[in-house]
Amino acid sequence: MKKIYITAFVLSTFFFTGCADDYLDVQQTETVSTKDIELYNNNTGAETFVTSIYNKFLNWDMTSFGWIGLSSITSDDADKGSSPGDTGTDKDVLDALTYNASNPSCESTFIANYDGINRCNQALNILPKLDKADAALRNRLAGEAKFLRAFMYFTLVKCYGGVPIVDHLPVPALEADRVMQLTRKTSAEVYAFIEADLNDAIAALPEKTAYSANEKSRVSKGAAYALLAKVSLYQKKWQQVIDNCNKVTGYSLVSDYASMYKATGKFDSESIFEIYAQGAVPAKGIEGYSNTQGARGTGGWGWGFNTPSQSLVNAYETGDVRKAATIIFRGQTLYDGRVVPNTVENERYNYKAYSSAYTDAWETDVDIKYLRYAEVILMKAEASNELGQTSAAIPLLNQIRNRAGLGNTGASSQADVRTAIWKERRVEMAFEHDRFFDLVRTGQAKAAFAIDGKTFTEGKNELFPIPSSFLSQAGGLSSQNPGY
Amino acid sequence: MKNFIFSFLALLLLPAYMSGQVQAIKGKVVDSSGMGIPGAVISAANSRTSADADFDGNFTINAKAGETLKVSMLGFDAVSVAATSTPMTITLKEAGDTALKEVVVIGYGTRKKVDNTTAISSIKAEEITKTKVLNASQAIQGKAAGVQVISSDLPGSTPSVVIRGLGTALGGRNPLYIVDGMQTENINNINANDITSYEILKDASALAIYGTRAANGVIIITTKKGTGDKVSVEIESFGGVRQPLKKVKMAGSNNYSYYSNAALQSTTFSQDQPVNTDWFDEITRTGSYTQNNISVSGATESVKYFFSLGNYSEKAVLNGLDYGRTTFRNNNEYKISKKLTLSQNFSITSANSTPKPLSAFTNAYKQSPIVPVYFPDGKYGVSRVGDNGFASETGSSFNNVGNPVAQLNFYDEQQKSVTLQGGLKLDYEILKGLKFTSQFNGEYYTWKQYNYDDTKNIWLAANPNKVDSDYAKEFPNSNINLLTQGRSDYFNWNLSNYLTYNKVFNEIHDVEVTGGIETSVKGPRETLTIARKNVNANSNYWSLNDPVANHGVEYAPTVTSFYDVVYNETKLASYFGRFQYKLMDRYLITGTVRRDGSSNFGKDYRWGTFPAFGLGWIITKESFMADVKAINLLKLRGGWGRLGNQNVPLNDQSYTSGGNAYLGGSLLYNGTTISSQIDPSLSWEITEESSVGLDFELLNNRLKGTFDVYDKKTSNVILNTKPYFTSGLTLPSPAHVGEVSNRGYEISLRWDDKIGENVRYWVGGNFSNNKNELTGLKNVILTDLIGGGLGNGQNTKLLNNTTIGQPLGSFYIYDYAGFDATNGKMLYYNAAGDKVTQDALDANKDRKYVGSSLPKTNYGVTLGITYKNFDFSVDGYGTGGAKVYNGKKAQRFSGENIENSLATDFWTPNNLTASNPAPFNQVPVASTYYLESGDFFRINNITLGYKLPIQENNFISACRVYVNAINPFITQKFSGFSPELNGDGNPYGSQGIELDAYPTMRSFVIGANLKF
C-alpha cells in the first residue's frame, strides 16, 4: 500500500516536471503580441507599418513647435514673435542663437526623427516577413520607407552633422547594436547612407501618377530624384544635382504662387513631396502647426510665434507677388475675407501656416510642401552656374522670377548669378523650413545674421548641439559639436 | 493541467483501498479550544510503553483498557486518565500563558513557537474581533511590530499592509494572503469572526517557502473548526454609530466674502450674506453599522463541523453610500480512518454597495458657503453671484465647483459581487511520522456593476437659468443619459501535494522534513463593459430591447461603446522543501528551499530558486541557565533568505496602433508600429534579508517580549528606463536597475499579571522603525515616475535618477520661504537659495526632496484589566516620520472656499505679520507650504464588557455585553481631516495626499455575545 502511495506521489511529480515548461506557456490576452505577425500578413496589414511613418510627420515634436523654432525662428527670415514675455519654452534663445546643449527644441527634434527612423526600420524589418501580402506592394512600401528614412537622416545631418546611423532594428542585449546606437558617424557617412537609401527608393517607387486619389501623399520616384538632387546640392556634387533634377519629370510650375498655400492647392502640378493634413473631423493635421503661428491677441487665433522679420520684408523686390502670399500684415484682409484687426500683438504673421477653414484648430488642413518643382529648377540653376554654365542657369532663374511677377534677372556674371539664385531661393521658399540650412550651406550665414542683428559664430552655429541627454546615454562613444 | 486533476483524484481515491487495524488504545490530545496538541507525550506506566501525539494531537499507544495513562506536554498541566478501548479525547489545561505551548503556522505545516527560528507575528481570534471593523487587516493595526497597516474607513476598501518596509516601486506591494491554503490578494470576503488565527510571516527565513511571491510578506489566515463534544451555538450582534473623527473648520459666508473680495480685488461678494451653507454637514449624515453573526459548531469522533452566517451592513457618513456583506462558511473535518483525514472548507460572500464619489468631500471643502443647497424655487444652488453680491441663479459664475449635494443625489452606481472560496485537504499518515497532504483550493469571483449618468438633468441642475429644451439646442448630438454596465469574473486555483516526516532519533535529534510540489493558477480575469445612451429612466426597463417598450428607442444604436478585456492568465509551478532540526531540545536549524517557475516571464528566465536558513538557540534550556529563575525563556534566533516578487510590470511587447494618417485623400489609413523594447531577461525582483531576533519571557512568564533587527535589500528593483534616444522607441523600458534597502528593528513587550484572585491585567506595546532608501541605480537614465497629482497640473512626487538616497514615496516639491511682507506674495527658495515668486521657479532645478509619505516608525500600545465579570481594554496606534500633503487646500482655484484659520488671518497692507500670505487666484505650485507632518497617535479601541453571571449548564451558557469606542481620540499635527491617507495605496499615487479622501471615523458600538 505504501508503495502505491509513494508511486502516485512520484508520478504526479513526474507529470509536473515533464510538462512544466509547456504548462507555463501562457498566451498573451491583454495586448496583441508582436509574435502574432499573422494579423498583419495581408496587403492592408503591410500598409499600416508605412502609414505610421507618414503619421510621424504630423506630430508636435517632429514638425511643429520645436521644428519651427529650429528651422525657422533661428533664421533671418523670422523672429520669435508672440508676446515679449512668452518665451515659448526656448524660442527666445533660438531666435538669438544662444541655445545650449540642453535646448528642448534641439532635443525633441533629435528624438522625433529617430522615432520616425524606428518606424521605418520596423516597416523594413517586418515587410519581408508578410509573405501573404502582394510582393510588388511590399517592394513599393519598402521604397517609401527608405525615402522617408533618408529624408529624416537628411534633417538630422543638416541639424547636427554626423549622427549615429541606425539602419536596422537593434537587438537589445547585443553590444554591436548598442555601439551602433550610441556612436556618431561622420557627415559623409550619413550622406552616403542617405544616397544609398534614395537609390533603393528610386528603384522601388512608381511615378506619382500611379497613386490613386486617396494616396497622393505617398512618395514617388520623382520625389526621390528631387531629394537626391537636394542631398547632392548640400554635398556640392553639381553634376549629380543636374542629373537628378533632369529626372524629376511630370511636374510644372503653377501660375499663381499664392494658390499653393491654400486648401485648393494641395498636390498641384508643382508639389513633389507634401505633408498632407486634413482638418475635417476626424482631423489629422500637423499638431499645433497653424495654432502656434496664428495671430496672437484680441481678434487673433493663435500663439503668434515665428513672425516674418523686417529683413525678409526688405528682401522682396517691388511687385513680387510672393510677399503678399507669405506674410500677413496686421490690419489686412485675408483672401477669405477675414480681417486681421490691429489689436493683434505682432505686425506680421506667417501666411503659409494659415488655415481658412480651421483657423484656430489644433490640427488644421495646412500642408507643408517640403519639395516643390520650383526648388528643382533653382537647384538645377545653381548647379549649372557652379559648373560654369551660367547662361543655362539664367533662364531657369527667370522662370521662377517671372512666375512671381518679376522681370528677368539683371545678373550675368557667375558670381552675380550665384547671389541672385541664393536670394531667389530665400524669397521663393520663405517659411518652408529651408532658410537656416541654406544660409549655412552657402556660407552666407554670418553676413545675413549680421544684417538681421544677430551674431552667428562660425565654427559653432553651423550645427545645433547634440542633446546632452543623449550624450549622457552615449557615455564616451559620442562627443559634442564644437562650441557647445 | 489535466494531469494535476487526475493525479489529485488518484490520490483522493487511493486511501479507500487501504485499511488495516492495529490493536491499541487510540485517542487525541487537545487543548481547551479543541485544537490538537502535537508532540504530547502519553505514557502507560504498567505496560511500560509511551507514544507521542502527531501533528493533530492523535496518538496510539499499546496499553490495556483501564490502565492509567499519563499525558504531559510542555506548557500544559499533566493529567492522568484511564485508558478506554473506544477513542479517547484528552483535554489538557494550559499551564499558564506561555509561548512554550503556542503553535505557529509556518506554511505547509505548523511548528511549536518555541522551536521556530523565524519571525512570525501571531494574532489570535479575540484580537481580530475586538475592533469592530470590516477587514481583519484593519483590526490588527498596531498589534504586530514591523507590520504597517494604512487603512481607510471607506466601507469595502482594502487596507495597505507593508511588512518590514517597501522594496518595490512599480511591482505589486501587497502581501500574499493564504486563507486555509488558498492564495488570494484580498481578504474583504472573510468574516473576521470566522478567523481563528492570523499569522504574519515577516522575515525571509520564514517567507522563502513561498518563493517568488513572498517578497512583500505572507499573511496566513486559518478559519475556525468545530471543537468540543457537543453542539455549540454562538451569536454575536452589535450596532454602532460613526462620525468623522475630525472636521476642518471652513470659512463662513462673510469671511469667505471678505477673503474672496481681497483675492479678486473687487467687491464681488456682499459681506452680509443671507446664506451660510456648511457643505460638509450637507453631504454627510451620522453613519450607522450593524453586524450579526451566528455560528454552529461541534465535533464527534469522526466529524468536526463549523457553520457560520454573518451579515455586515453599513450606512456610511457620506450620504447615499451604503455597503452590505453577507458571509456563509462551512468548515468540516472528516476522520475517514485512523490514518486518513479529509478537511473541507467552503465560503460564500456576497457584497453589495452603492458607491458615491469621494470628490464630493473635496467639492464640499471648496464650494462657497454663500451658495445655498437649493434656491428658493427648489433648484440646486450654483456658484453664481448676482450684482447684489449674493448667490443667484442668473449671476456670473465665480468658480467651477459643482453643488456637492446635487453631485451625490445624481450619482447612481451599484456594485454587487459574489466570492466562492473553498478547498479540500487530505491528510494521510503513511506510516508513523510520515504524513502525506494533498490540498486543492479554488476561488471564483463574479462582479457586476452599473452606473447611470443622468446627463441632461445634471446639466440642467448646474444651469438653473436654462430650461429643458435648451439642452437639445445646445447639445444637438449629445445623449440625455448614459448607462454603463460592467461584468467581471475569474477563477483561481491552487493544488499542493507534500510529505512531512517527523522523527526523534536517540531522543536528542528531532528532525522534521517537508517536501512537495504546488501549482497556483490565477485564471484570466475577464471584464465586459457596455455603455448605452438614452435608456429609459426607469431602471426596470434597462434590459428591454423591444423598441415599443423602450419608448421607440432601438437597442443597438443606443450602444455607445463596449469592451471585453481578458487579462493574462498567470501560472506558477513550484517545488519546495524544508528541513527542521532540533538538537537536545535547544539547538535549532531550519533550511528551506523553493523552486518556482512563473508564466509571467520568458522561457529562459522563468525558473528561480529561493533558499533560506534559520538558526535558533533556546538558551534557557542550557544547564547553566537552570538556576536563573527570573528568566523563563530566552531564545536567540536568526536567519537569511532570498525572496521574489513576481508581481512586476511585464514587458509584453505589443504593436502600437494609432499612427493613423490620411495619405492625400479622405480615406484614413490605419498605422501600426512597435515603439517598445523587450528586455528578455525581465524577471522577478529579488529581495535578500538577514535578521536576528531575541525572544524572552521573564519573571514567571509575566514579562514577554521579542526584539528583532533586519537588513533587507532588494537588489534588482524594476524601474522604467529611457531607451536610447536613437532607438526611436518612445515607450519606457522596464529593467532591473534599482536597489532598495530596508533596515529596521522591532520591539514588542507585554506584561501580564494578577492582583489577588479577581483582577487580571496586562500592559503591552510594540515599536518598530524602518529606514527605507533607494540606494542605487545602474547606469541608466530613468523615465521620470511622476505621481501624486493634484488635479491642477501640479504633481508632488518623483522618482528618477535624482532620487538615489531618498526613501520611496518621497515628495519632490518647492521649498516655501514665507511670504513677501511688502505684498503678501508667497516666496520659494530656488536652487541658489534666493527667495523668489513662483513665476521665477525652474521646475528642473528648484524642487527638493522633502520626505516620504511612508512612516518611519509605527507603534502600538495595549492595556487591559479584568475584574470579576468585567473586562476593559484600551489599544492605541501611532506612526512617525511620514509627511502628508494637504491636497484639497493646495488645489484651490479662484472663488473657492478657504479654511477659517486662513480667512481670518492673512496678509493685508494693515496686517504685515499675518500667518498666511495675501489672497491669490493663481494656482499655487506644489510646495512645502502644504506639506505637513503625518505623525499621529490614536486610541484605536476602548472596550468595556460584562459577562452576565450565568450557570454554564443553562440553555444560554454564556452572555457578554460590551460597549466599544473605535478611534475615540487622536492627537495629530495635520490640519486636515485625517493623517492616515491610504489613497489608492500607491506611494507614487494618491497615498499620503488628502484629496478626495474619506475621513477617519470615530465609532461607538454596543453589542452582545451569546453562547448556547
Residue with cell 484659520: B901
Q: What is the mean pLDDT of each run of 10 residues along chain B (1012 residues)?
A: 46 38 72 76 77 81 81 73 82 61 83 87 85 85 89 88 89 89 87 90 90 91 85 92 92 91 87 91 94 91 91 94 94 91 93 93 92 92 90 88 93 95 92 91 95 91 89 86 93 93 88 92 92 84 62 67 88 92 89 90 86 91 82 91 85 80 93 85 90 91 92 90 89 88 94 90 94 88 85 85 90 91 90 88 87 92 92 93 89 85 88 86 86 92 90 81 92 90 86 89 92 86
Contact A11 B7 (CB under 8 A): yes
Q: Got the DSSP string for A103-156?
A: -HHHHHHHHHHHHHHHHHHHHHHHGGG-TTS-HHHHHHHHHHHHHHHHHHHHHH
Contact status, residue A78 vs residue A310, Cβ threshold 8 Å: no
Cα(B206)–Cα(B613) distance, integer angstroms = 9
Q: At what angle do helices A414-428 and A390-403 cross, to 10 degrees?
A: 30
Contact status, residue B182 vs residue B568, Cβ threshold 8 Å: no
CB-nearest to B570 from A26, A473, A475 is A26
Name residues 222-281 of chain A within 8 A of B (Cβ). 266-267, 274, 276-278, 280
Distance from CA of B780 to the nearest CA of A (A): 7
Strands (DSSP E) contained in B98-231 are: 103-105, 110-112, 120-124, 147-150, 160-163, 176-179, 182-184, 195-201, 218-223
CB-nearest to B652 from A21, A30, A58 is A30
Question: Which ranges of B948-989 would DSSP assign to H, the alpha helix?
Answer: none
Determine contact: A123 vs chain B, CB below 8 A: yes
Distance from CA of A269 to the nearest CA of B (A): 14
Residue with cell 528566465: B605
Q: What is the pLDDT, as a whole number, of residue B21?
A: 42
What is the Cβ-side half-sphere exposure of residue A7, based on CA atoms within 13 angstroms?
Answer: 6
Dihedral sign (CA A315, A375, A379, A73): positive
Which chain A residues are closer than 8 Å to B663 by Cβ?
A: 51, 54, 214-218, 276
Which chain A residues are closer than 8 Å to B674 by Cβ?
A: 34, 122
Which chain B residues are closer than 8 Å to A166 by Cβ?
A: 726-728
Cα(B85)–Cα(B667) distance, integer angstroms = 91
Residue of chain A whose Cα is closest to the Cα of B722: A473
Distance from CA of A6 to the nearest CA of B (A): 9
Name residues 652-691 of chain B within 8 A of A (Cβ). 652-656, 659-675, 677-681
State CA A160 to chain mean position distance: 14
Cα A420 to Cα A428, A432, A433, B798: the distances in Å are 12, 19, 20, 56
| CA-derived radius of gyration, chain A | 26
Q: What is the pLDDT, as a whole number, of residue B743?
A: 94
**What is the per-residue pLDDT across B577-608, written as a single tens digit (0 to 9) for each?**
999 999 888 899 999 999 999 888 888 888 88
**What is the per-residue pLDDT across A128-145, written as a single tens digit (0 to 9) for each?**
999 999 999 999 999 999
Cα(B582)–Cα(B584) distance, integer angstroms = 7
β-sheet bridge partners, residue B69? B44, B81
Residue of chain A whose Cα is closest to the Cα of B13: A5
Q: Residues 6 or more apart from B957 whose CB is under 8 A from it?
A: B950, B951, B1011, B1012
Residue of chain B whose Cα is closest to the Cα of A367: B664
Contact B653 A118 (CB under 8 A): no
Determine contact: A41 vs chain B, CB below 8 A: no
Fold annotation for B241-525+567-1003: Maltoporin; Chain A (2.40.170)
Least Cα distance to B767 among B42, B143, B125, B67 occurs for B143
CB-nearest to B660 from A51, A166, A212 is A51
Distance from CA of B98 to the nearest CA of A (A): 39
Contact B727 A40 (CB under 8 A): no
Residue A192 pLDDT > 80, yes or no? Answer: yes
DSSP structure class, residue A70: I
Residue of chain B whose Cα is closest to the Cα of A51: B671
Q: At what angle do helices A221-234 and A135-160 cross, to 10 degrees?
A: 20
Distance from CA of B730 to the nearest CA of A (A): 7
Q: What is the pLDDT, as a whole number, of residue B537?
A: 82
Contact A8 B519 (CB under 8 A): no
Contact B663 A40 (CB under 8 A): no
| Helix, strand, coil content of chain B in percent (nearest 5) | 10, 50, 40
Contact B668 A284 (CB under 8 A): yes
Distance from CA of B968 to the nearest CA of A (A): 47
CB-nearest to B661 from A54, A173, A274 is A54
Q: Residues 6 or more apart from B966 whose CB is under 8 A from it?
A: B131, B132, B133, B240, B940, B941, B1001, B1002, B1003, B1004, B1005
The pair phi, psi for residue B261, each rounded to 5°, is -60, -40
* Residue B546 CB coordination number (10 Å): 10
Cα(B295)–Cα(B194) distance, integer angstroms = 9
Cα(B454)–Cα(A436) distance, integer angstroms = 56
Name residues 155-174 of chain A within 8 A of B (Cβ). 163-164, 166, 170, 172-173
CB-nearest to A40 from B8, B598, B672 is B672
- As a whole number, mean pLDDT of residues A85-101 equals 91
Residues forming CATH 2.60.40.1120 domain(s) in chain B: 2-91
Cα(B420)–Cα(B988) distance, integer angstroms = 33
Determine contact: A114 vs chain B, CB below 8 A: yes
Least Cα distance to A377 among A219, A241, A191 occurs for A241
Cα(B896)–Cα(B345) distance, integer angstroms = 55
Q: What is the pLDDT, as a whole number, of residue A233?
A: 97
Q: What is the pLDDT, as a whole number, of residue B22?
A: 43
Distance from CA of A152 to the nearest CA of B (A): 12
Determine contact: B436 vs chain A, CB below 8 A: yes
Determine contact: A20 vs chain B, CB below 8 A: yes
Fold annotation for B2-91: Immunoglobulin-like (2.60.40)
- As a whole number, mean pLDDT of residues A448-455 equals 90
Question: Torsion-angle region of residue B211: left (phi > 0), alpha (psi -120 to 50) or beta?
Answer: left
Cα(B724)–Cα(A433) distance, integer angstroms = 27
Distance from CA of A80 to the nearest CA of B (A): 21
Chain B interface disruption, residue of A5, A25, A168, A358, most B CBs within 10 A: A5
Contact B666 A214 (CB under 8 A): yes
CB-nearest to B661 from A6, A19, A51 is A51
Cα(B157)–Cα(B151) distance, integer angstroms = 8
Tell how strand B703-721 and strand B434-453 pair up: unpaired
* Residue B585 CB coordination number (10 Å): 15
CB-nearest to B675 from A118, A182, A467 is A118
Q: What is the pLDDT, as a whole number, of residue B314?
A: 94
Which chain B residues are closer than 8 Å to A48 by Cβ?
A: 659, 669-672
Cα(A383)–Cα(A393) distance, integer angstroms = 8
β-sheet bridge partners, residue B422? B346, B442
Q: Percentage of residues in chain A with pLDDT exceeding 70?
A: 96
Distance from CA of B431 to the nearest CA of A (A): 8
Contact status, residue B260 vs residue B250, Cβ threshold 8 Å: no
Cα B872 to Cα B184, B642, B864: the distances in Å are 35, 43, 5
Contact status, residue B895 vs residue B368, Cβ threshold 8 Å: yes
Name residues 369-388 of chain A within 8 A of B (Cβ). none
Q: At what angle do helices A104-126 and A135-160 cross, to 10 degrees?
A: 160
Residue of chain B whose Cα is closest to the Cα of A47: B671
Cα(B579)–Cα(B982) distance, integer angstroms = 40
Q: What is the pLDDT, as a whole number, of residue B423?
A: 92
Total beta-carbon pairs less than 8 A apart between chain A and chain B: 219
Domain definitions of chain A by residue range = 41-205, 278-323+342-366
Contact status, residue B394 vs residue B386, Cβ threshold 8 Å: yes
Determine contact: A339 vs chain B, CB below 8 A: no
Which chain A residues are closer than 8 Å to B10 by Cβ?
A: 8, 12
Contact status, residue B254 vs residue B370, Cβ threshold 8 Å: no
Residue A379 pLDDT > 90, yes or no? Answer: yes
Q: Mean pLDDT lowest for which of A29-43, A112-126, B41-55, B167-181?
A: B41-55
Fold annotation for A41-205: 1.25.40
Which chain A residues are closer than 8 Å to B4 by Cβ?
A: 12, 15-16
Which chain A residues are closer than 8 Å to B680 by Cβ?
A: 172-173
Distance from CA of B629 to the nearest CA of A (A): 49
Is the ipTM beyond the 0.85 threshold?
yes
Provide the mean pLDDT of chain A. 93
Determine contact: A473 vs chain B, CB below 8 A: yes
β-sheet bridge partners, residue B445? B419, B490
Residues forming CATH 2.40.170.20 domain(s) in chain B: 241-525+567-1003
The pair phi, psi for residue B893, each rounded to 5°, is -110, 170
Contact A114 B599 (CB under 8 A): no
Name residues 713-772 of chain B within 8 A of A (Cβ). 722, 724-730
CB-nearest to B725 from A20, A33, A114 is A114
Dihedral sign (CA A39, A44, A45, A51): negative
